[in-house]
A and B are shown apart, each in its own frame.
Chain A
Amino acid sequence: EVQLVESGGGLVQPGGSLRLSCAASGFTFSSYAMSWVRQAPGKGLEWVSGIGATGGGTYYADSVKGRFTISRDNSKNTLFLQMNSLRAEDTAVYYCAKDASVVVAATPNYWGQGTLVTVSS
């Protein structure tokens, strides 16, 4: 059974940093692209970033480019999202998602339960 468990969310001040983690199990982690998707309170889904199966090839939404960095540790089956220079508009539930293939951002087919990030003073 595919399981994705996010952690690292919390309350952070504007301009601060946070690192999210996603522990994966139930599939061959190193064979699939992965993505982060967020959902602001009461709003729709927004794709944030994606990474290739081997870690080569990283992609970002314009709204986070230059502030967020996606990475993965295939030896530990873990996906990361380093978030810097956080803004109030980054407040959201952040979901980790497994893509259906090696193609980044094509088809997230399994999602974690999400971790809440709140940016506020």
Chain B
Amino acid sequence: QSALTQPASVSGSPGQSITISCTGTSSDVGGYNYVSWYQQHPGRAPKLMIYDVRNRPSGVSNRFSGSKSGNTASLTISGLQAEDEADYYCSSFTSSSTLVFGGGTKLTVL
């Protein structure tokens, strides 16, 4: 199972919006709505930010939103804040009943 494709890095200034893409295939992202996004700060465990393509767990800021079109999912963060600087990973359920992650995107808040 190949990893989902994410940009290695993105950046934005405080208050701006950024979008991170996550491209897979019809056997994972395109075939299921089990697409999630995780935030990971250095030395910490990943934290679920978006699940089932567009749903936010309780306690996650509404500045975070998710969407999907075909084989590509996207995470948008609006009103960027310094605390958003972290690594972000997408994941998807696959047709083999496994989970595949993206390679990760490093978000820098300028």
Chain A interfacial positions (CB closer than 8 Å to B): 35, 37, 44-47, 50, 57, 59-62, 95, 100, 103-114
Do A106 and B34 contact each other (CB < 8 Å), given the known contacts A44-B104, A45-B104, A47-B100?
yes
Inside 8 A of A45's CB, which chain B residues have their CB?
38, 40, 46, 89, 91, 101, 104
Which of B40, B51, B97, B101 is within 8 Å of A107, CB to CB? B51
Which residues on the A side are within 8 Å of B40 (C-beta)? 45
A46 to B96 Cα, complex, angstroms? 15
Is B57 positioned at the interface, with any CB of A under 8 Å from its CB? yes
Chain A residues with CB under 8 Å of B109's CB are: none
Contacts A45-B38, A45-B89, A95-B46 given; indicate if A59 touches B51 (C-beta within 8 A): no
- Are A105's CB and B93's CB within 8 A? yes
Contacts of B98 in A (CB 8 A): 47, 50, 59-61, 105
CB contacts (< 8 Å) of A47 on chain B: these are 91, 98-101
Chain B proximity of A48: nearest CB distance (Å) = 9
Q: When the two chains form their complex, are residues A111 and B34 in contact, meaning their CB atoms are under 8 A apart?
A: no
Chain A residues in 8 Å Cβ range of B52? 107
Q: What residue of chain B has the Cβ atom nearest to residue A58's Cβ?
A: B97
> Taking each of B36, B47, B98, B103, which has the highest tally of chain A beta carbons within 10 Å of its own beta carbon?
B98
